Chains A and B, each alone.
Chain A
Amino acid sequence: MSEGMETRVIMISPSSHITPDQLTRMIHMSGKKVTVKETCYGCLVEGPSETVREIRDEIRNLDPNGIFSKVRAYPCGDQRRCRAKHGTRPGYAQLETEWKALSYIKIGLDASNRGEKPKEVTQKKQLSVTKFKKICEVG
């Protein structure tokens, strides 16, 4: 992959109404010179960095807080990371796990847009030995 190119993983939050198919169609229809590959969770987009970022911003308009992205080290279809060739790549299970949490982030972003300020729940503290002793004595 030449310099200035970027591959991006686009993921749709499980709670979003957008489908990977809608996403890829929209990118295709934009007529921009990029490679698009539909995935189970969204799609992969590859092309000049600037164009890829433009696409990121455009597709976010479909569901501003429900579509997420990160760059990928490997180009689309790179044999070195091909599932068919080797089996799942090491980071696959992590993406799978993070995808499930995206609906919580969507809720967080929606709340932030509404100006909500959640309070941090205090950490659980261990029971003091004295208290625990008292409980045991009562029992």
Chain B
Amino acid sequence: MKVFIDPPNSMILFDLVERFGHEPLCAMIALREMVNNTEIDMPPMNISLDDVVKGLKYAGIEVPSGIRGRLAVWGPLIEEADAAIIMEDAPFAFGCVGCERSNQMVKYLIKKRGIPVVHVSYPENEEQGKLIVSKIKEFFEKLKEIS
């Protein structure tokens, strides 16, 4: 099962999805294709004007370019996903997920797709650590039952 993770660059979520035998859809994999594209030389990420223009599919021209560029990369992943895990209250999310408005839009796009979603909180103590693992495990078990 293809599972979109939010934040899309989270190590914790990527690891847990793989650990439970599924395929994480994340920013790193989408960007890997871009940075390895030898035909474009626009370091550091090889995101070009064309990519940002593609973002118009998700947000209008009055929306800042950084948001449209992000949505151009993540939007197709959300469209491809069978399920999603959203981690709320991550204390810090930088780089790829540094724009809060983009992050809000990602959550909305997931909701709009209507795929199964589990919400977990960023762990700040042992109990929350247990809860994350248990919720994600249970989520996958339920999805297995349904399918």
CB contacts (< 8 Å) of A94 on chain B: these are 7, 9, 92-95, 97
With A71-B29, A112-B133: A104-B95 Cβ-Cβ less than 8 Å: no
Asked if B48 CB lies within 8 Å of chain A CBs, one says: no
Assembly CA distance A92 to B11 (angstroms): 12
Q: Is the interface of B mostly helix, strand, loop or mixed?
A: helix
- A-B CB contact pairs (8 Å), 9 listed: A11-B11, A69-B18, A71-B14, A72-B28, A97-B92, A101-B123, A104-B126, A105-B129, A109-B133
- Chain B contact residues, CB within 8 Å of chain A: 7, 9-12, 14-16, 18-19, 26-29, 31-32, 34-36, 43-45, 91-98, 122-135, 137
Given contacts A105-B15, A106-B129, 20 further A-B contacts (CB under 8 A): A68-B11, A68-B12, A69-B14, A70-B11, A70-B26, A71-B32, A72-B28, A73-B27, A73-B45, A80-B45, A90-B98, A94-B9, A94-B92, A103-B129, A104-B126, A105-B12, A105-B132, A105-B133, A107-B130, A112-B137
